Structure 1
Amino acid sequence: MDMKQRKVWNENHKKLKEILLKPEEHSKAIQLFLSQHSLVHSSSIGKTGQVTLEDEVLRDLDESIFREYPVPNPDTNNSIAWHLWHIARIEDMTMNILVANVQQVLHTANWIEKMNLEFTHSGNDMSEEDIAALSERIDFNSLLAYRRAVGRQTQDIISALKPGHFKLQVDQKRINRLFDENSVMQNSKWLAEYWSKQNIAGLILMPATRHIFLHLNKCVRIKEKLQK
């Protein structure tokens, strides 16, 4: 996914924002979302026929670069490992708890054990010690598999939404689940409060698409800098 394709992605994201709350454009919005979402996941889960932004991150990615922490980038100190974990967790909890009110992907198929982790939260406000531990310990292939599983589940959830659902506000009981399941740390209450003010469209436009796009761009910059 080169710079020209990223520019197109941004333009299409604006189009998605314009039509998402229009019931008469529901089918078109779903299809545009699926395309946008596929381009920020592995090409193995989508049908775009393009090299995706995640493909760009993973191409020629050495494991030592994947794990390096801290990194010498002006906009982030965190490792590529942390960024990929963070976007997967944010997408998992927002789509499965806040949108669909179903079980998180994380709690299926023994993902915590497979990834060799003890963390279940989003990674926001994480200590330097814990970021270092995650970067060192997380299983590379299992993390990528978890990301794919989360992405497929998101596409199923959004495809099942009906006209008018994008306008629905986030239910407070679902916000409470974030804390009950240790998905958001107590010192990250600001994040839950932010989501509590969103409708489903807001969650689609940020956690499920643009948030991933921004972090994968950071990963590309980290990789390019460390490979020099």
Structure 2
Amino acid sequence: MGKEWSEKQKKVQILLGKEATYKEAIKQLLELREEMFEQISQIVNGYPARAFYQMPFANVKGYHSKTLAYSIWHIFRIEDIVAHILIAGDDQIFVKGEYQKKIGSLIITTGNELQGQEIADFSQKLDIGALYEYAKEVMLSTNSILSQLEYSQMKKKYSDEDKKRLVESGCVSSAENAVWLIDYWCDKDINGLIKMPFSRHWIMHIEAMQRIKNKLCKMARKGVDPAAYCDHSCNHCFLGEWCGSCRTEYNVCSFATIFEDKRCPNAVCCIEKSIDGCYECSELENCTKGFYAPENNGAIEAKVQAMFIRKYGKEAFIEVEDKLHERFDFYKMQEILGQGIHEGLKILENELSK
């Protein structure tokens, strides 16, 4: 994902350099920002509260050494400061929306000065819902500013007076590892600010967020039953890298997330019935609930696997799935096992006998 974003950002940079292609550059930049923000939305809407203050890569070098909450804070505090204090010359969204109180933050800075456990402690105190609303409002506000800028403004430079305004705002810490930001921003023209705080900076930190959440999911799944409630194999799912499975609180199964409460009907049903999975249910063969709805892709495949587990057990199921997935990807498996209940079951049984 990061590589694709970087290629798109490079294209935007080239288009920004010419008046004839400037408007197209802004259009593509806004589309890129929307695409990247969707990743933040998925993380905020899909992961438990404790995920936002954990540091699975603590003490390593790189942006992924931080937390999910810190990353969101850092991206949008920088954008808010640059977009409003420097470019628009008006009040920050943070100030107008009284977001310090809403978010519950003890600081108003970019957070560059925080290190190690300070980052985790800071992150744990934040209201993630309010932080997300702040991030979204900043993004939309910046988009509006970008849409109104003209090519003739791209070379605008900043002065010592602009630096003074940044210092007086108190939004940048005087700590050595933070105060450098003021010179860094003011040494750029608007074109340069668009390339970094409004695009490249997003890519670096959202990519880091993806690494953090993937690691947290991997940790959550350790030792957890790899068979989902619907009896899909989480070990072979296309979501396996960043989903903790429906048996953990890191569940972002693509089927579960389409429901308002983010819970798969099959998982809910199994929990209510106090059964381990759909394979234990007497209504399995005729069930059309949740994943087993006839119109759902993979419905037959999932039911075939549930029936196989009922007959041969989970160890045999995992063994057969491992063998088949050495030859076929997730989607091909859906196609192969989805030919029909009896046909699919026969395929699994033949694989078991090899």
TM (norm. structure 2) is 0.57
- For structure 2, the residue ranges without an aligned partner over 5 or more in a row are 219-354
| Residue 53 (structure 1) shift | 2.6
- Partners in 2 of 1:39 and 1:96 — Cα distance? 23
* Higher RCO (Cα < 8 Å, 6 or more apart): 1
Which residue number corresponds to residue 79 of structure 2? 91
Deviations 1:15-46 (A, max 9, x none): 111121322222112211211222222xxxxx
Residue 53 (structure 2) pairs with residue 53 (structure 1): no
1:182-221 correspondence to structure 2 within 5 Å: 182-187=170-175, 188-221=178-211
State how many pairs are aligned. Answer: 214
Write the distance in 1 (CA, Å) between the matches of 2:158 and 2:32: 23
Residues 1:129 and 1:66: Cα distance change in structure 2 (over 3 Å): closer
Q: Deviations over 1:71-114 (max 9, x none)?
A: 44743432111111100101111111121111111101211000
| Alpha-carbon RMSD | 1.8
* Counterparts of 2:151 and 2:217, CA distance in 1: 47
52-61 or 197-206, larger mean C-alpha shift:
52-61
Q: Which has the higher mean CA deviation after the structures are superposed, 173-182 or 81-90?
A: 173-182
In 1, are the aligned partners of 2:13 and 2:195 still within 8 Å (CA)?
Answer: yes
Seen in structure 2, the aligned counterparts of structure 1 residues 70 and 183 have a Cα distance that, compared at 3 Å, is farther
Unaligned runs of 5+ in 1: 42-51
Provide the C-alpha distance between the structure 1 equivalents of 2:197 and 2:112, rounded to a whole number of angstroms.
13
Mapped partners of 1:36, 1:112: distance in 2: 28
The letter of the residue matching 2:182 is A
Aligned residue in 2 for 1:112: 100
The answer (yes or no) to whether the contact 1:40–1:209 under 8 Å persists in 2 is no
In structure 2, the partner of 1:65 is: 51
Distance in 1 (CA, whole Å) between partners of 2:48 and 2:110 is 25
- Per-residue deviation at 1:55? 3.4
Which deviates further from its counterpart, 127-136 or 68-77? 68-77
Worse overlay, 115-124 or 17-26: 17-26
**Identity, % of aligned positions:** 29
Cα distance between partner residues in 1 of 2:208 and 2:4:
18
- Offset at residue 127 of structure 1 (A): 4.1
Name the SS for the 2:46 alignment partner: coil
1:169 to 157, 165, 169: 157
Matched, 1:26 2:14: no
